[in-house]
Structure 1
Amino acid sequence: MEEVRENKMGTQPIGELLFKMSLPIMISMLVQALYNIVDSIFVAKISEDALTAVSLAFPVQNLMIALGAGTGVGINALLSKSLGEKNFKQANSAANNGIFLCLVNFVIFVVFGAFFTEIFYRSQTSSKIIIEYGDQYLTVISLLSIGLFCQMTMEKLLQATGKTIYSMYTQGIGAVINIILDPCFIFGVGFFPKWGVTGAAVATCIGQFTAAAFGLFFNMKFNKEITINLVKYRPQAKIIKKIYAVGLPSIIMQSISSIMTYGMNKILIGFSNTAAAVFGVYFKLQSFVFMPVFGLNNGLIPIVAYNYGARKKKRITGAIKYAMIYSVSIMIVGTIIMQIFPAQLLKLFDASDNMLSIGVTALRIISTHFFFAGFDIIIISSLQALGRGLSSMLVSFTRQLVVLLPVAYLLSLTGKLDAIWWAFPIAEIFSIMASLFFLRRAYNAEIKPMAD
């Protein structure tokens, strides 16, 4: 039995293992990024105000992802570490407590969707049409968020045991369904109702529900290293505490991004609604570059956590080095695309001449930070896998709230919109210096003392 439990994360060559673990997740996240882009492309055909409304929803949607993914990171790290230590009882507890926590996250956003969506939009803009579109979109996304949270939890359970191919299937299925249903519900194709912006939200939620259902099926059918049994399950404070010891800093770290985006939207709307729409389009486009790296990150964390639990020094350092090479290579390709084809990318969203004049410059300036971000993401993921979630949180806090947002505000005082975009590369330089400092400390304390 134990020989079966000693899975590939402790035995396969690191370069090959990381590639095989990450590739399915990278593909699924590329599909995920694609349907996020397609979502906005269809919404942009309604009007620029509709596109702006969906863009302004990003801080809340990112907060949902922060709670789901951050909790998942904690589940992933604890489950993988427990398997590495041959502590199968704790691994099962991590899985079952994780499912309970996804339901708690859902309840939080049901309350938000029922009472606070309109207030959220009014805090950003006075445009009645943007508020109306935004309230329609975000209410549906919030009230039906159970699909998102369950999907993310099921995928993390699959990733934690190395079954990333099934994680790819769940995300791919959900994304394809969303892409197919988007135009149907937005424009009323065939027998489908014409729901406009609301239709975009409905299509997204149906895709998430479908992915969650397949994720549960794959875990029950193929994930034999853990046992999901919610009938006999009871919440365990000790396990939840361990999950959030790693997961909470990740949640805070990603939530910081929501605060930053909200602040940037406030700054940009001071110039024009179009500037905020450009920022929203940038986030959709950059996800196509960053999502594969986040997929790599999701493949890296269980490998590092497993081998950290198994005390295998060379496998830990080897995984981090390979991940950095892959990550930076992806980012270089993304930078080249953003530099050469910014206008063509913006035209996918029916960009007006005004949006093009703002957006071309914005994409070229912001994308200069991708190279440094490639290193940064892998370092932060490595810190999380080593149980240094607080360090990764401090790096993210420094980048987005201590540097990026204040610098963006100061640059806005020049009255030149183009100057604001330079806040991104400036913040990334500070971030990589901080992350390297924390990685060196973690290496000396956690990895260096291990026997080779």
Structure 2
Amino acid sequence: MKKYNNTFLEGPILSSLLKFSLPVLLALILQSLYGAVDLWAVGVFCSPADVSAVSTGSQTMLIVTGIITGLSMGTTVLLGQTIGKKDFCISAKVISASIWIFATLGIFLSIIMLFAAPSIAILMNAPAEALEKTIHYIQICGAGSIFIVAYNVISAVFRGMGNSKAPLLFVAIACAANILGDIILVNIFNMGTEGVAIATIAAQAISVLSSMILIKRTGLPFPFTKEDLYFDRSTASAIIKLGSPIALQDMCNETSYLILIGFVNTLGVTASAGVGIAEKLVMFMLLIPMSYMQSISAFTAQNIGAGQYLRARKAMWTGMMTAVFLGGVMSFISFFHGDLLSAIFIRDSEVIAASSEFLKATSIECFILSAAYCFTGYFNGMSKTAFVMAQGLCAIFLVKIPYAWFASNKAHPQLFQIGLSTVFAALFTLLVCLLYYIHRQRRHHTSEKTKAISF
């Protein structure tokens, strides 16, 4: 057995957090290269219709990934808390229950996505010239959902144990395989949209195989044998209870982007392709707040399990300071040089202009989320996932979608105005999380004073 990472529970907070969050950030960067490389390949070697198809299809697959990563957060948090308590018997049950839950989910999603692809593409208002390509992309990637599920749950287990380097290794292998696959299938065999979809799923399968080999060779930091591989209903319920609110929020968040793209698709292929490229760039900008959210969740979970509540709060504020600085740098570059970034993916000047216009708004969103996601990571680690879900759904359905609809239905709709819907939603999240944090702190201080008086 290997020793688990206990630097979360002792020593300097900043260095511990950075050592964990940096591999998380790098893994997210490489994972985002899947869609980015796919978009680059069709943007350089294929037509705008292929770009539109990959843009719409990949956004659809992000909903699937959002459900998986959100639900797997239940595994990360519960595993982190049990390791903080040093209750390794329960830790083994968490892994066993996770295997059963996500194996079932992976099979279900693979079947559903394969048959629902045509309906999804039509619902997304995919342009007529890109409709068939969009359907094929969704069908191929959807059929391989089992590999996406397997990768994410394995990564969630390692993060819960305080190990962020292993997921980085897995995704690095997959990214290299995906790039090679895109070059071969798109540039050499001219397979276009279908080629990038096949390359993506093949790369995920290679990543899962690599991770299973590593686990078999190194083992886990606590006893886990075939006898432990049984379905424990109470543990499974705890994972679902923690993870399902985050999964629902992530699903709705990605769905909101699909709806937004649906609004944009009515403006034509140029606007659709431009926003598709902008969204790929936004994914890279969001990697900083996302990496801090995941890191703070794992950090908080272990410290809550060990009863170190003050250390958990300090980790959140420490992470927020560095996240806001890094997020600010990324947002500045995107706001003022969006055209140069967009030109990486396509040569069409009109598409580049559309992408740059949309980026001016979403770069502001990413800066705000650099702070907001640190709050949500902290609340997730405290098992307050129901609150995270509630505020997220309100931001989506009360702010983002209504404003996007309003902006897209003006006499002369502008992509910048449509993009502002994401900014207002991010502001809502930040404000509500700050108020909830203040409320919890006041309630905590009141409880402490009551205890002091009683003594």
- Smaller-chain TM-score range? over 0.9
- For residues 141-185 of structure 1, the C-alpha deviation after alignment (integer angstroms, 9 at most, x for no partner) is 111122111111111111111121112111111111111211111
Partner of 2:398: 402
Of 334-343 and 346-355, the range deviating more from structure 2: 346-355
CA–CA distance in structure 2, aligned partners of residues 445 and 98 of structure 1: 34
Partner of 2:329: 333
Q: Any conservation in 2 of the 1:26–1:295 contact (CA below 8 Å)?
A: yes
CA–CA distance in structure 2, aligned partners of residues 228 and 255 of structure 1: 32
Percent sequence identity is 17
SS at match of 1:218: helix
Q: In the alignment, does 2:18 pair up with 1:22?
A: no
Partner of 2:382: 386
Partner of 2:51: 51
Partner of 1:417: 413
CA–CA distance in structure 2, aligned partners of residues 25 and 227 of structure 1: 26
Q: In the alignment, does 2:190 pair up with 1:199?
A: no
SS at match of 1:7: coil
Distance 1:449 1:273, change over 3 A: farther
Partner of 1:211: 207
CA–CA distance in structure 1, aligned partners of residues 223 and 51 of structure 2: 43
What code does the residue aligned with 1:373 have? L
CA–CA distance in structure 1, aligned partners of residues 88 and 54 of structure 2: 43
Shift of 1:367: 1.2
Q: In the alignment, does 2:71 pair up with 1:75?
A: no
* Structure 1 unaligned regions, length at least 5: none
SS at match of 2:208: helix
Distance 1:297 1:226, change over 3 A: farther
* Structure 2 unaligned regions, length at least 5: none
SS at match of 1:57: helix
Partner of 1:437: 435
Q: Any conservation in 1 of the 2:53–2:193 contact (CA below 8 Å)?
A: no
Q: In the alignment, does 2:107 pair up with 1:111?
A: no
SS at match of 2:392: helix
Of 291-300 and 164-173, the range deviating more from structure 2: 291-300
Partner of 1:34: 33
User: Which of 286, 291, 294 is residue 290 of structure 2 equivalent to?
Assistant: 294
Partner of 1:174: 174
CA–CA distance in structure 1, aligned partners of residues 83 and 249 of structure 2: 26
**TM-score scaled by length of structure 1:** 0.93
CA–CA distance in structure 2, aligned partners of residues 440 and 301 of structure 1: 19
Aligned residues: 446
CA–CA distance in structure 2, aligned partners of residues 140 and 201 of structure 1: 6
Distance 1:69 1:447, change over 3 A: farther
Partner of 1:258: 254
CA–CA distance in structure 2, aligned partners of residues 124 and 431 of structure 1: 26
CA–CA distance in structure 2, aligned partners of residues 207 and 125 of structure 1: 29
SS at match of 2:286: helix
What code does the residue aligned with 1:87 have? D
Distance 1:30 1:55, change over 3 A: same
CA–CA distance in structure 1, aligned partners of residues 307 and 386 of structure 2: 22
**TM-score scaled by length of structure 2:** 0.92
User: Which of 312, 336, 348 is residue 344 of structure 2 equivalent to?
Assistant: 348
Of 234-243 and 288-297, the range deviating more from structure 2: 288-297
Partner of 1:221: 217
What code does the residue aligned with 2:107 have? V
Shift of 1:441: 3.5
Distance 1:228 1:152, change over 3 A: farther
Shift of 1:254: 0.3
Shift of 1:349: 2.1
CA–CA distance in structure 2, aligned partners of residues 250 and 375 of structure 1: 18
What code does the residue aligned with 1:80 have? G
Q: Any conservation in 1 of the 2:282–2:366 contact (CA below 8 Å)?
A: no
Partner of 2:145: 145
Partner of 1:11: 10
Cα RMSD over matched residues?
2.2
- For residues 34-76 of structure 1, the C-alpha deviation after alignment (integer angstroms, 9 at most, x for no partner) is 3321210102231111111111123431222122211221001
Q: Any conservation in 2 of the 1:335–1:370 contact (CA below 8 Å)?
A: yes
CA–CA distance in structure 1, aligned partners of residues 194 and 314 of structure 2: 47
- For residues 265-305 of structure 1, the C-alpha deviation after alignment (integer angstroms, 9 at most, x for no partner) is 22112222222222221111011121233222222211100
CA–CA distance in structure 2, aligned partners of residues 96 and 449 of structure 1: 38
Q: Any conservation in 2 of the 1:161–1:223 contact (CA below 8 Å)?
A: no
Q: Any conservation in 1 of the 2:292–2:377 contact (CA below 8 Å)?
A: no
Distance 1:77 1:422, change over 3 A: same
Partner of 2:318: 322
CA–CA distance in structure 1, aligned partners of residues 235 and 106 of structure 2: 20
CA–CA distance in structure 1, aligned partners of residues 3 and 174 of structure 2: 31
Distance 1:164 1:187, change over 3 A: same
Q: In the alignment, does 2:436 pair up with 1:427?
A: no
Q: Any conservation in 2 of the 1:63–1:258 contact (CA below 8 Å)?
A: yes
Q: Any conservation in 2 of the 1:313–1:447 contact (CA below 8 Å)?
A: no
Shift of 1:83: 1.0
What code does the residue aligned with 1:441 have? H
CA–CA distance in structure 1, aligned partners of residues 233 and 47 of structure 2: 48
User: Which of 300, 304, 325 is residue 304 of structure 1 equivalent to?
Assistant: 300
CA–CA distance in structure 2, aligned partners of residues 81 and 148 of structure 1: 25
CA–CA distance in structure 1, aligned partners of residues 249 and 263 of structure 2: 21
Distance 1:140 1:255, change over 3 A: same
Distance 1:62 1:428, change over 3 A: same
Distance 1:385 1:442, change over 3 A: farther
CA–CA distance in structure 1, aligned partners of residues 77 and 146 of structure 2: 23
